[in-house]
Structure 1
């Protein structure tokens, strides 16, 4: 059975040799950032491998670069900016293609870098969701961060707004969740 953070209930989180602590805070925005504020744009396609904690990502940057990586996220069951442990492995196209053949749920989004935030504008059944995140090196940085005025609500502790949950959400569910925060993306 999965716990509230997406981990396997009762399973201990143990540090991996290559894992690092992931500290981030997430915020809902009513709209995408102004183009003048954006420093980098990338189109991201995430595949959440069925029955695992693995995410396969393809990120295509506006300058033509392509980044392929496999990520394992081991969540912890506590609130706050510390989300758990994360391990990234960068892949060749051949390695990516092998893993992409596994059964997975997927989502697509465009990430706009607006320092200090990464702002994700989702596509498909998640269209209308604009989610910003800020990553931190220390707990102190995370606690002292003051989000910009454009942030409508903080959803750091609302696991419905994590990739592993969003990929499974239906359109009606997403609309209900956003309405709880006073947002109505419409049906465009």
Structure 2
């Protein structure tokens, strides 16, 4: 099923062993994602750390049928604070993170119980752009096709499970 309002989402994701040097970060945002129970819908609150400007988005993601940088179709609707507050009353699993902008990457540092996970992603306008992208030198592994490292899966992941996944890629994080 497709929609006139949906666009193709192309992104590649990479595990990093550590956050970037603060000197290379151009913007910082606090993100709270609410994955609405029993749906493919996400409610996002994104606040800039420097000026506390807040953006609210309601998103539907329809996954691609194949692995790789084409993640599927995505539809975003921007909301008012009142609309967000109303939708935030729906049952949801919540994922918190800090997003650091290090162009062309967005680098996510996750809140407990996923602390220690550093996930970088780059988005693209074309398949050719995605294929030509060189992973950052700090990348331990590309996890674009590893469904465990998507927000919809991470939001339901416990600490022990995450530590096992990271160990598979040679990343050791404190168990606490």
TM-score, normalised to structure 2, is 0.98
Aligned match for 2:7, one of 17, 20, 33: 20
Alignment of 1:97-112 (within 5 A): 97-112=85-100
Does the 8 Å contact 2:33/2:43 carry over to 1? yes
Aligned match for 2:54, one of 54, 57, 66: 66
Partner of 2:108: 120
Partner of 1:5: none
TM-score, normalised to structure 1, is 0.92
Aligned match for 1:175, one of 163, 167, 171: 163
**Structure 1 residue 79 corresponds to structure 2 residue 67:** yes
* Displacement over 3 Å in runs of 4+: none
Task: Find the aligned partners of 2:52 and 2:82 in 1 and give their Cα distance.
Answer: 19
**Structure 1 residue 36 corresponds to structure 2 residue 23:** yes
Q: Number of aligned pairs? A: 175
**Structure 1 residue 141 corresponds to structure 2 residue 134:** no
1:75 to partner: Cα distance: 0.3
- What's the CA shift string for 1:2-45, capped at 9, x where partnerless? xxxxxxxxxxxx22110000000000000111101000100000
Query: Superposition RMSD on alpha carbons, in Å?
Result: 0.7
- What's the CA shift string for 1:114-143, capped at 9, x where partnerless? 000000000111010000000000000000
Question: Gaps (5+ residues) in structure 2?
Answer: none
1:187 to partner: Cα distance: 2.6
